[in-house]
Amino acid sequence: MSSLRKAALDQQKWDMIHFWSGQIAPILKHTKASVLMQSLVDETSKIIKS
């Protein structure tokens, strides 16, 4: 992947730099941004209170 990323950077093809992102989307447990954000707030609060 690094050689493909370097080639994209060298050619200033900005849309190809992160072409692999989103590959784990099917295994995510949060499907809505609001649920994800609430989960992050809840988990962070637990850590801070520890």
Three-state helix/strand/coil letters over 1-50: CHHHHHHHHHCCCHHHCCCCCCCCHHHCCCCCHHHHHHHHHHHHHHHHHC
* pLDDT number for residue 34: 92
Rg of the chain on CA atoms, in Å: 17
Total domains in the chain come to: 1
pLDDT value, residue 22: 63
0.75 exceeded by the pTM? Answer: no
In angstroms, rounded to a whole number, what is the distance separating the alpha carbons of residues 8 and 12? Answer: 6
Residues 2-50 pLDDT 10s: 788 888 889 998 877 776 666 666 667 777 889 889 999 999 999 999 7
Which domain does 30 fall in, by range? 2-49
